[in-house]
């Protein structure tokens, strides 16, 4: 050991200087940033001014005097009210305005901003705070719950820096990505990761497709951009999977190609125009393929054709759709996305397998009429509340066809859910049909409301129909 020590020592006049110089050189080498680090820092510096904070505020609501949120103990007549109820006309305390924080980004210099639908849903006022701390009142141009995208507009005099939308189709699993947003209100937070998977379906609906990433995404990141290493937006961060509520490396972003289509529609007239075929479809399982005497288990199998739809007289039950406008249809989940993003009135070509022979068919894409897009029934809207956290609408022939529910099923269709609501926590999804709540049938929105008002059991047993399958779920309705 002494020999090894001494071998490191130099003459007194120069040895310690030499060792110090060597250490300094080593430290300098390890401290120098790599080219990759510099490239990432340059990217973040260049795109950060395009990322904004979204502040969405909901109006104050009265606190029910008899409800669990009323603080009886703090009121001088609290014990009296608790025992005998509050007098008629009693002014109950007001809940303060609810304020939510999210993220977004500047789409163009005209002041259009992209964020999530759920960030601004039910907001009475929306404020956009820019990178330089300037704030502007925002107008909600339009939102699309089925893809969770919203377009806002601000009137800024100058100084807006827009982003470029990239092609999400060409991004590959394993590529580096950067998320920038405002998790927990901490503005301009940067996290990095890779593309973990593409084409994810997380039960958001048939028209949304997600990029999965392990870049840390938390509450407040919603609506923020997911960048590739060229500084292009390839996704809008929308959801996380987390048992605890924090990031566990499973984040999901709506693909930029869907965002581009939805944003263009919303900017045009505030609404989304979706293409429609008018067929019920399902996957081709190996068992079905064997029964049909075919070798492939890819494509979308037509199980029904809607009367009066664009597909009537063109497609038939038993057809297997293999391509749509030269795009491969590998499974039934591919087709709604391809058709939904096609402009209404477009002449389209489908390749189908019919009786073992491939055929080319042509039809004109129609206008989607799903009730999930246009819920105007005031009763349906009224049932969207704190009890379940859902918005429902009556079943129609069109929606039955779209979700694969037969005429024998009665109930109301779930058209929207509030994040973290009892219904969402119980696993309900858009497109589910609520058939019963407790022992009461829920054929109409009024019937559901009545069942909620009279239900004594908490959690309540709810029978739903999901794509033709009956499922019981337990939902807390406090």
Q: How much is the pLDDT for 254?
A: 94
Provide the CATH number for the domain around residue 459: 2.30.42.10
Task: Identify whether 338 is part of a domain.
Answer: yes
What span, in angstroms and rounded, lies between the C-alpha atoms of 177 and 32?
23
Residues 238, 293 within the same domain: no
Which pLDDT does position 459 carry in this prediction? 77
The rounded distance, in Å, linking the Cα atoms of 40 and 229 is 8
> How confident is residue 468, by pLDDT bands cut at 50, 70 and 90?
confident
Chain segment 305-319, per-residue pLDDT in tens:
888 889 999 999 899
Mean pLDDT, residues 447-475: 81
Q: How confident is the model at residue 378 (pLDDT cuts 50, 70, 90)?
A: very low
For the ranges 171-180, 185-194, 381-390, the lowest mean pLDDT is seen at: 381-390
Task: Evaluate whether residue 225 is within a structural domain.
Answer: yes
What does the pLDDT average to over 13-28? 46
Shared domain for 264 and 286, answered yes or no, is no
Q: Which residues, other chains included, contact 171 with Cβ-Cβ below 8 Å and sequence gap of 6+?
A: 177, 195, 198, 211, 228, 234
Write out pLDDT tens, residues 228-245: 999 999 999 998 877 766
Residue 71 CA, chain-centre distance (Å), reads: 36
Inside any domain, residue 12: no
Evaluate if residue 382 carries a pLDDT over 60.
no
Say if 240 falls within a structural domain: yes
CATH code: domain of residue 58: 2.40.10.10
Residue 263 backbone dihedrals phi, psi, to 5 degrees: -60, -40
Q: Which residue has the higher pLDDT, 212 or 84?
A: 212
How is residue 451 annotated by DSSP? H
Same-domain pairing of 470 and 396: yes
> What pLDDT shows up at residue 143?
93
3-state secondary structure of 340: helix
Which range (103-112, 157-166, 319-328, 386-395) has the least confidence? 386-395
Which residues, including other chains, have CB under 8 Å from residue 91's CB and lie 6 or more apart?
Answer: none
Q: Which of 338, 367, 396 is the last residue of a domain?
A: 367
Q: What is the pLDDT of residue 95?
A: 53
Within-domain flag for 471: yes
263 plus 312 within the same structural domain: no
| Residue scoring higher pLDDT (281 or 377) | 281
Spatial separation of the C-alpha atoms in residues 41 and 225, rounded to whole Å: 16
Q: Is residue 112 part of a domain?
A: yes
More confident residue, 407 or 355: 355
Does the structure show a pLDDT above 90 at 138? Answer: yes
Together in a domain, 148 and 193:
no
Residues 170 and 149 in one domain: no
- Mean confidence (pLDDT) of the chain: 80
Q: Is residue 29 part of a domain?
A: no
The one catalytic residue in 103, 196, 222, 256 is 222
The pLDDT tens digits of the residues spanning 387-445 come to 678 888 888 777 777 777 878 888 999 887 777 778 888 888 888 899 988 888 999 88
Q: Let me know if residue 323 belongs to a domain.
A: yes
264 and 170 inside one domain: yes
* Residue 445, domain extent: 378-475
Tell me, yes or no, whether 256 and 279 share the same domain: no
Range 341-358 average pLDDT: 92
Domain boundary among 339, 367, 395: 367
Cα distance between residue 124 and residue 56, in whole Å: 8
Confidence band, pLDDT 50/70/90 cuts, at residue 67:
very low
pTM of this structure? 0.64
- CA–CA gap between residue 28 and residue 22 (Å, rounded): 10
Asked whether the beta carbons of 166 and 235 are under 8 A apart, the reply is no
Catalytic residue check, 222: yes
Q: Distance between CA 319 and CA 316 in Å, rounded? A: 6
Question: What one-character-per-residue DSSP string does 59-79 give?
Answer: ---BPPTTSTTS-TTTSTTHH
Residue 148 annotated among the catalytic residues of the structure = yes
Cα-flanking dihedrals φ and ψ of residue 424, to 5°?
-65, -40
143 shares its domain with 55: yes
Question: Tokens 């849903």 identify what position?
Answer: 121
Q: Catalytic residue at 132?
A: no
- Asked whether residue 303 carries a pLDDT value surpassing 90, the answer given is no
Q: Judge if 238 and 280 occupy the same domain.
A: no
> Following CA atoms 191, 194, 197, 203 in sequence, which dihedral angle do they give, to the nearest 10 degrees?
0
Last residue of a domain, one of 153, 181, 202: 153
Give me the catalytic one of 148, 265, 319, 416: 148
What values do phi and psi take at 430, rounded to 5?
-60, 135
Tally the domains of the chain.
4
Domain shared by 57 and 148, yes or no: yes
With CA atoms as reference, report the closest residue to 127 among 114, 116, 119, 136.
Answer: 136
Q: Which of 118, 247, 421, 432 is catalytic?
A: 118
Task: Say yes or no: 265 and 289 in one domain.
Answer: no
The band of 86, judged by pLDDT with boundaries at 50, 70 and 90, is low
How is 254-322 classified by DSSP, letter by letter?
EEHHHHHHHHHHHHHHSS---EE--EEEEE--HHHHHHHT-S---SEEEEEE-TTSTTTTT--TT-EEE
Max mean pLDDT among 53-67, 261-275, 347-361 falls in: 347-361
């Amino acid at each position: 050991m002494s020999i090894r020590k001494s071998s490191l020592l130099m003459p007194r006049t120069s040895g310690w200087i030499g060792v110090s110089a060597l250490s300094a050189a080593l430290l300098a080498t390890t401290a120098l940033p790599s080219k990759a680090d510099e490239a990432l820092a340059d990217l973040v510096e260049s795109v950060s001014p395009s990322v904004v904070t979204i502040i969405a505020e909901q109006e104050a609501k009265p606190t029910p005097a008899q409800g669990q949120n009323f603080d009886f103990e703090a009121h001088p007549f609290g014990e009296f009210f608790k025992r005998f109820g509050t007098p008629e006309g009693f002014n109950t305390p007001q809940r303060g305005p609810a304020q939510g924080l999210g993220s977004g980004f500047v789409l163009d210099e005209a002041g259009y901003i992209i964020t999530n639908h759920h960030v601004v849903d039910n907001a009475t006022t929306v404020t956009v705070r820019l990178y330089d701390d300037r704030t502007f009142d925002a107008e909600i141009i339009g939102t699309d719950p089925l893809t969770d995208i919203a377009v806002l507009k601000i009137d800024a005099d100058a100084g807006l820096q827009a982003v470029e939308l990239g092609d999400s189709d060409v991004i590959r699993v394993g590529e580096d990505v950067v998320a920038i947003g405002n998790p927990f209100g901490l503005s301009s937070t940067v996290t990095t990761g890779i593309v973990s998977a593409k084409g994810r379906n997380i039960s958001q609906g048939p028209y949304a497709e997600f990029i999965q990433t392990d870049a840390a995404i938390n509450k407040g990141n919603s609506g923020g951009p997911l960048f590739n290493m060229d500084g292009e937006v390839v996704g809008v961060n929308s959801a996380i999977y987390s048992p605890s509520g924090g990031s566990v490396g499973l984040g999901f972003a709506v693909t930029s190609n869907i965002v581009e289509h939805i944003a263009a529609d919303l900017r045009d007239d505030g609404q989304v125009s979706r293409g429609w075929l008018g067929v019920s479809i399902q996957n081709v399982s190996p068992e079905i393929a064997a029964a049909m005497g075919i070798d492939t288990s890819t494509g979308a199998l037509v199980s029904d054709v809607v009367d009066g739809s664009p597909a009537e007289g063109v497609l038939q039950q038993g057809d297997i759709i293999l391509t749509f406008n030269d795009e491969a249809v590998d499974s039934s989940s591919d087709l709604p996305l391809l058709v939904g993003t096609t402009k209404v009135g477009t002449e389209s070509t489908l390749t189908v397998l019919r009786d073992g022979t491939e055929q080319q068919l042509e039809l004109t894409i129609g206008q989607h009429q799903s009730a999930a897009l246009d819920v105007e029934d005031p009763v349906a809207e009224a049932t969207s509340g704190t009890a379940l956290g859902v918005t429902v609408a009556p079943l129609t022939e069109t929606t039955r066809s779209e979700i694969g529910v037969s005429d024998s099923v009665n109930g109301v269709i779930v058209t929207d859910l509030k994040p973290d609501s009892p219904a969402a926590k119980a696993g309900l999804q858009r497109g589910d049909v609520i058939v019963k709540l407790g022992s009461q049938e829920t054929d109409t929105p009024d019937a559901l409301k009545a069942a909620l008002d009279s239900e004594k059991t908490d959690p309540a047993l709810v029978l739903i129909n999901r794509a033709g399958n009956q499922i019981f779920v337990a939902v807390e309705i406090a």
